[in-house]
Amino acid sequence: MKQTAHVARITATNTGLRAMFALLAAALVMFVLQNIAQAQGTERSGKDVVTGICANCHATGAQGSPKIGDKDAWSKFSKQSLSSLTAVVLKGIRQMPPHGANMKLTDTEIKRAVTYMVNQSGGHWIEPTSRTKPAAPRTGQQIVAAQCSKCHEKGLNGAPKIGDRDAWVPRLKDGLDPVVRSAINGHGGMPARGGMANLTDAEMREAITYMFNKGRVPEKAAK
């Protein structure tokens, strides 16, 4: 009799514990799902923003706006940096309303929209990632393939060629740091951050190291 009561108590405790764990697990799943939804839901892609908002004028070139797909009209903008173009959009210019007439847009959404329009019009920019969900850093190889090779592959306008040690060694005579800084600021035919506004300083360093070492040091596999 005593024994049965004991067993019953243990079973009751176990059931209680199990129920508690089940509740905890459910709460955890809810929490994770909510965070995923937030990370995905808060910031729209450039395409969505453009289709929903900017296209109202830019699809047809209404009021003298540069038309999406008009390479000539956009070429002068795509030479600017993403941050300077974004600043114009935030502030507005002449017939272009501040924020593209939508104050709810985040800076990242505007940057993405600008990038999308530039890319629809002959550009090759990379859409910035949401700060609510940071992207995995890109390898030097990926960055060079996506951007720097446009000029550094063939040595356009005197750009030091990828893997050409003779061209790179004199530039690196004072070490990597001053060259990284100089490439971030840009000079001569070298645009600021190599024309890739969302490149972090660490990524810039990786890209330069990759261009210096190409063909001599075994390549790291792209992540």
Interacting residue ranges for ligand HEC, rule: CB under 6 A: 49, 53-54, 56-58, 63-66, 77, 85, 88-89, 93-97, 100-101, 105, 110, 113-114, 143, 147-148, 150-152, 156-160, 171, 179, 182-183, 187-191, 194-196, 199, 204, 207-208
132 vs 191 by CB, closer to ligand HEC: 191
Least distance in angstroms from the C-beta of 93 to ligand HEC: 5
Nearer to ligand HEC, 13 or 95 (CB): 95
- The nearest distance, CB 204 to ligand HEC, in angstroms, is 6
**From its phi and psi, is residue 122 left (phi > 0), alpha (psi between -120 and 50) or beta?**
left
Minimum distance from CB of 194 to ligand HEC (Å)?
Answer: 3
CB atoms within 10 A of CB 53: 20
In the complex, the smallest distance separating the C-beta of residue 163 from ligand HEC, rounded to whole angstroms, is 13
CB of 219 to ligand HEC, least distance (A): 16
CB of 57 or CB of 123, closer to ligand HEC: 57
Spell out the SS3 assignment of 115-184.
HHHHHHCCCCCCCCCCCCCCCCCCCHHHHHHHHHHHHHCCCHHHCCCCCCHHHHCCCCCCCHHHHHHHHH
Q: Which of residues 56 and 132 has its CB atom nearest to ligand HEC in the complex?
A: 56
Alpha carbons 68 and 120: distance in angstroms, whole number: 6
Decide: helix, strand or coil at residue 219.
Answer: coil
Vertex 223: Cα angle to 141 and 200 (nearest 5): 60
Query: What distance in Å separates the CA atoms of residue 118 and residue 65, rounded to the nearest whole number?
Result: 13
- Closer to ligand HEC by CB, 13 or 185: give it: 185
